[in-house]
Structure 1
Amino acid sequence: MTERSGPAGDATGGSVPTAPVCYRHSDRETYLRCSRCDRPICPECMRDAPVGHQCPECVNEGRRSVRPARTAFGGGAAGRRGLVTRVLIALNVLVMIVSVLSDRGGDSMIGGSGFGGLLGGGTPLTQWGSVLSYASYVPFGEAHGVASGEWYRLVTAMFLHYGVVHLLLNMWALWVLGRELEALLGPLRFLTLYLVAGLGGNVAAYLFSSPNTASAGASTAIFGLFAAVFVLMRRLGRDTSAILPILVINLIFTFTVPGISIPGHVGGLVVGALMALVLAYAPRMRRSVFQAAGTAVIVVALLGLVIVRTVMLLG
């Protein structure tokens, strides 16, 4: 009887070679491989890469290892969302609501006394938090103000407004300028610019206004943003002809409209410009250190001026 032989593989005791399967889908044969880790991947798992194709894990790992792009001033992707600008607007609106509620039926039911309650007029909250040098609320009463130790006014005043129109004008400017600057600088640098410019304007109001004159509003910080836009655009080599007319118009209003704090607006403009110079011209290799040190110098100088003015008022 003749013996029949089987397949060669059976005769040698080996196995038939099989195609590799996708490491994520064991039921799918594939001859594609990740160009980074060399694992087999099916067309569904394949991701385009700068060289060849990669698996999803290698693509995600590459994204984590790639340093995010930065602007010339240190801003990143987070700044393009405008989160700080939105939070600042929301905070100002919230403080306006609390200010109106604090009036309890006075002449500021909707934010002020003039023009149907839309302009002017103060509330107990603006009285508490506005920039006041050294004066009493009532004749022969207790003296209040920055000189009496109420230094918090130099910060709180930039979040208080005299009336709804006052608030809306400042918030519109913040919305327009803030998103652009936050995208260039990033959230932290933009917030620092806003607060230091606002502080600078309030310090100027404390230095140069009469002791019994109160002032408040985000316009100290807003004027700082105007100056910053101009400085940053010049640093980038961009056209600044669009911002100049707006800045000039606002300065004309500052010097001609009664009731506007000239020292506050000009002080915010100057300090905002100084902050922008620090942020814009910091050397790239040590940018954060230079920017932090420059900001600290400006803040310390402002606090020194406050001390000098306080000594003069109390002396």
Structure 2
Amino acid sequence: MQSFHDVLEQRLPNVTLTKLLIVINVLVFAAMLLGGAWFWHSPNGIQLSWGANFGPATQDGEWWRLGSAMFLHFGAMHLALNCYALWDAGQLAERMYGHARFLGIYLISGLGGNLLSLVMQGNSAVSGGASGAIFGIYAAVLVFLWRERAAIHAREFRWLFGAGSAFAVLTVVLGFVIPGIDNAAHIGGFITGLLASIIFSQTITARIMPLKYSVGAVLTTILVSIFLFKNIPPPKYRWSDELLLRSQISAFLFQDQAINRSWLEIMHEGKQGKVSFDELAGKIDYSISEPYEESFEKLSKLPLDPDLPSAMQLENILRYAEKRKEASKALAERLREQAQP
């Protein structure tokens, strides 16, 4: 009896998409490294800038993060484990379902996993990785093996089905034990993969999937997706507001450096005694007090939602800018008083 693996290889000799997906994940990781990511583990800020899944960001009109997050990895080990799992199950699934159906299962499972992750984690975690999509692939492989079990040698079936089931169960168990593992994405991806394997059903010897089952799987997927979307926890803050604060704070810090350079130049001129007190006062007004006053007024108009991560830094900068403004104005006034006869 020909082995099931040989049957699949004859059915589809080249697993082009499995290889392509692995290459894409590796290339994205390499691009992230060039963009400042860390090799072993990248900070959440870098992941967010590349499209990781995060409640406030995703719900602030950036729903594309549900898709982009499945191509991001937080470090080399995370990438290596996912690529190994993708190669292990991907070549089987691609040969079982064909190129297009395999890709459909992969992408839909990744989206489903990231959606459940968003519901379960919401504002509390930044997530990314191909594991949700990979769990969907494992689910699809298990469904195919079960339906074709009569045509597979018993020992080979036990090995393939047992190994796939053990991987899924063990990984989920580890997810409850080891912190930082996105179990919601794993479980969501697996369940979505089960449904997608019915929708994109393929067969070798088993009977064709009845249409009512495929339609039922489509309707279930749609209804569950609607239910999950309606139960996503509301974001604690608007991501666009946070990005605005960060950009304006960064701009102020850059301007503050320029103001401090101007201050050193004014102090140097004062020590040389080449300018009058009135002129020094005017320079302080123009180069120190007015920029701080303008910055204070501009920063005061920014959103002051206390839930924004940068809210505390903004408050500190506002106090700093006001203090520097008042101190420079007082100094200019004293200089003018000294200039009077």
Normalised TM-score (structure 2): 0.57
Cα-to-partner distance string for 1:273-299 (whole Å, 9 max, x where unaligned): 121233338974987x985x6675466
Give distance in 2, aligned partners of 1:156 and 1:209: 17
Give distance in 2, aligned partners of 1:79 and 1:166: 29
Asked if 1:227 is matched to 2:125, the reply is no
Residues 162 and 217 in structure 1, CA contact (< 8 A), matched pair in contact too: yes
Distance 1:166 1:79, change over 3 A: same
Distance 1:210 1:272, change over 3 A: same
Give distance in 1, aligned partners of 2:209 and 2:227: 32
TM-fit CA distance, 1:123: 5.6
Give distance in 1, aligned partners of 2:170 and 2:233: 36
Residues 78 and 187 in structure 1, CA contact (< 8 A), matched pair in contact too: no
Asked if 1:131 is matched to 2:53, the reply is yes
Residues 198 and 217 in structure 2, CA contact (< 8 A), matched pair in contact too: no
Which residue of 2 is the match for residue 150 of structure 1? 62
Asked if 1:206 is matched to 2:118, the reply is yes
Give distance in 2, aligned partners of 1:167 and 1:128: 15
Residues 80 and 182 in structure 1, CA contact (< 8 A), matched pair in contact too: no
**Mapping for residues 1-315 of structure 1, pairs under 5 Å:** 79-103=12-36, 108-110=37-39, 118-119=40-41, 121-122=43-44, 124-134=46-56, 145-237=57-149, 238=152, 239=157, 240-280=161-201, 284=208, 297=219, 300-301=222-223, 303-305=225-227, 307-309=229-231, 312-313=234-235
Give distance in 1, aligned partners of 2:29 and 2:12: 26
Give distance in 2, aligned partners of 1:159 and 1:79: 25
Residues 133 and 146 in structure 1, CA contact (< 8 A), matched pair in contact too: yes
Residue identity in the other structure for 2:66: L
TM-fit CA distance, 1:78: 7.8
Which residue of 2 is the match for residue 34 of structure 1? none
Residues 195 and 218 in structure 2, CA contact (< 8 A), matched pair in contact too: no
Give distance in 2, aligned partners of 1:303 and 1:241: 30
> Unpaired segments of 5 or more residues in structure 1?
1-70, 111-117, 135-144
Give distance in 1, aligned partners of 2:73 and 2:17: 20
Give distance in 1, aligned partners of 2:66 and 2:10: 32
Distance 1:311 1:166, change over 3 A: closer
Identity %: 31
Give distance in 2, aligned partners of 1:224 and 1:165: 21
> Unpaired segments of 5 or more residues in structure 2?
238-341
The two structures, once aligned, show a CA RMSD in angstroms of: 3.1
Matched pairs, number: 219
Give distance in 1, aligned partners of 2:81 and 2:50: 23
Give distance in 1, aligned partners of 2:38 and 2:235: 35
TM-fit CA distance, 1:168: 0.6
Which residue of 1 is the match for residue 297 of structure 2? none
TM-fit CA distance, 1:227: 1.4
Residues 101 and 109 in structure 1, CA contact (< 8 A), matched pair in contact too: no
| Bigger-Rg structure (1/2) | 1
Cα-to-partner distance string for 1:87-106 (whole Å, 9 max, x where unaligned): 11111111111111221xxx
TM-fit CA distance, 1:256: 1.0
Give distance in 2, aligned partners of 1:86 and 1:281: 21
Give distance in 2, aligned partners of 1:177 and 1:278: 19
Cα-to-partner distance string for 1:36-57 (whole Å, 9 max, x where unaligned): xxxxxxxxxxxxxxxxxxxxxx
Q: Where is the helix percentage greater, Structure 1 or Structure 2? A: 2
Residues 197 and 224 in structure 1, CA contact (< 8 A), matched pair in contact too: yes
Residue identity in the other structure for 1:83: T
Cα-to-partner distance string for 1:109-142 (whole Å, 9 max, x where unaligned): 42xxxxxxx24534635444111111xxxxxxxx
TM-fit CA distance, 1:305: 3.8
